[in-house]
């Protein structure tokens, strides 16, 4: 390369792409290296993207980006094993300035990579970073096989399995309880069929989360998101509980796809894509830092994923950390100081995001409670049975109806305990 590299960004996901784009806009010589054939080739989530953070650097980006649909309908369901479902639906009119969208990462990330190139930056694909370069105790670049790429700063955005973050000594190897396994299929359907079945307009979209039956009672949940001409459907399950149960993840997702009421929405669909991905859910541990001499860690590699029950959000934190990393490097570049002390500015910029993550840190443990996925869906559906079905007996007051069902499905004490723990956690 004929120019001195100020910063190397490892990984072409949202964190890395945003960081490289902003560094280029700042006039800092940055190179993004990505092991896939193109940015987005290795990236996967359902996926709903909340775009307010990205809007800060690319105003009205949705007018140009390959957005699938604007989310206009949110559905949360508790599904029992006996084909009953308790759902809450929240619908909004299509927004002039929408806040959430469905995207397909292979398309969206390529678009963002092209934004870097348009700004004059460099995106180098099919390069796998295998190790860090060191000068004394300071990170001074990366290795890719036999090649070396020296730089003043390195930003690791490798994703959940960040081997370089582990080699740096800042992150420990993740265990089975630190991650969940997400498996997704993309099912092709004509846009008019999707709009008719989900009762949405041309641009509207659905975000549907289902707890209980989709994961055979294991901690996790099922999801369904509408794209323009396809549906993204899948499950997210605790890896440790999946291993303990000895269930086959393929059987679980097939059962979910063929269950009521999901089967109707996928009828005559064509499988377009199948993918799997680990999701970090244990958060940032107290002893871990996201910076050292010459090094920053961002996105999933840093464990910046919010898990709060029906919400599992990583995209906006990836963008926020990418922006914070770029701003930190600009600050260090101006002072020609890339020491750990100078790079600690990163955590200051991430303070609000880290505070939000820490406030939900107990949610991970609470969501391991098996009753959430077994007893409680059955409990909710049994209450609805008593309310909506006339058994030729006089109906009781709602509170009395609920009270009578508590002892049958779950004890009074257990329900109170779980409610209090849930309130504290999520």
R_g (Cα) of the chain, nearest Å: 23
Instruction: Kindly report, residue by residue over 156-184, the tens digit of the pLDDT.
Output: 999 888 899 999 999 988 888 888 999 99
In 6-116, DSSP assigns E strands to 7-10, 30-34, 48-50, 69-79, 85-91, 100-102
Rounded to an integer, what distance in angstroms lies between the CA atom of residue 396 and that of residue 408?
17
Q: Mean pLDDT for the chain?
A: 86
Residue 151: pLDDT band (50, 70, 90) is: very high
**What local confidence, expressed as pLDDT, does residue 1 receive?**
47
Q: Domain 7-68+103-173+284-349 carries which CATH code?
A: 3.50.50.60
Buried b (16+ CB within 10 A) or exposed e, 270-281: eebeebebbbbb
Domain residues of the chain, as ranges?
Answer: 7-68+103-173+284-349, 177-280, 365-425
Instruction: Kindly report, residue by residue over 58-99, the tens digit of the pLDDT.
Output: 998 988 999 999 999 999 998 888 788 889 999 988 766 678
Instruction: Kindly report, residue by residue over 183-223, the tens digit of the pLDDT.
Output: 999 999 999 999 999 999 998 999 999 988 888 888 888 99
Provide the CA 218 distance to its chain's centre, in angstroms. Answer: 19
CATH class of 177-280: alpha beta
Of the ranges 128-137, 171-180, 336-345, which one carries the lowest mean pLDDT score?
Answer: 171-180
What does each C-alpha distance from 100 to 46, 53, 55, 75, 304 come to in angstroms? 13, 11, 12, 14, 19
């Amino acid at each position: 390369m004929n120019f001195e590299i100020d910063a190397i960004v490892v990984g072409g996901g949202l964190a890395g792409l945003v960081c490289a784009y902003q560094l280029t806009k700042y006039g800092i010589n940055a190179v993004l290296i990505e092991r896939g054939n193109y940015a987005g080739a290795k990236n996967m989530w359902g996926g709903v993207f909340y775009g307010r953070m990205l809007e800060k650097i690319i105003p009205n980006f949705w007018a140009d980006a390959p957005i699938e649909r604007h989310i206009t309908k949110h559905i949360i369901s508790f599904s029992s094993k006996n084909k009953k479902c308790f759902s809450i639906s929240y619908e909004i009119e299509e927004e002039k300035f929408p806040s959430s969208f469905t995207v397909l990462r292979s398309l969206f990330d390529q678009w963002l990579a092209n934004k870097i190139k348009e700004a004059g930056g460099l995106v180098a694909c099919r390069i796998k970073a295998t190790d860090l370069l060191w000068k004394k105790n300071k990170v001074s670049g990366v290795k890719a096989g036999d090649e070396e790429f020296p730089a003043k700063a390195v930003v690791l955005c490798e994703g959940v399995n960040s081997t370089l973050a582990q080699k740096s000594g800042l992150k420990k190897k993740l265990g089975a309880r630190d991650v969940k396994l997400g498996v997704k299929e993309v099912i092709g359907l004509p846009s008019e069929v999707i709009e008719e079945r989900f009762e949405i307009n041309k641009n509207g979209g659905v975000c549907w989360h289902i707890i209980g039956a989709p994961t055979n009672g294991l901690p996790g949940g099922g999801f369904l998101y509408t794209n323009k001409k396809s549906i993204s459907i899948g499950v997210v399950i605790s890896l440790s509980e999946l291993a303990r149960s000895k269930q086959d993840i393929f059987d679980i997702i097939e059962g979910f796809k063929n269950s009521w009421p999901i089967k109707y929405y996928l009828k005559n669909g064509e499988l377009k894509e199948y993918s799997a991905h680990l999701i970090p859910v244990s958060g940032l541990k107290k002893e871990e830092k996201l910076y050292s001499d010459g090094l920053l860690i961002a996105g999933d590699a840093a464990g910046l994923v919010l898990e709060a029950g029906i919400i599992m959000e990583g995209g906006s934190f990836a963008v926020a950390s990418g922006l914070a990393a770029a701003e930190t490097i600009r600050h260090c570049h101006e002072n020609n100081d890339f020491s750990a002390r100078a790079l600690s500015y990163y955590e200051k910029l991430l303070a609000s995001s880290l505070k939000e993550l820490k406030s939900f840190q107990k949610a991970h443990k609470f969501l391991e409670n098996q009753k959430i996925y077994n007893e409680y869906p059955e409990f909710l559906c049994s209450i609805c049975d008593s309310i909506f079905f006339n058994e030729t007996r006089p109906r009781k007051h709602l509170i009395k109806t609920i009270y009578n069902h508590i002892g049958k499905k779950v004890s009074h004490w257990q329900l109170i305990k779980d409610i209090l723990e849930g309130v504290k956690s999520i």
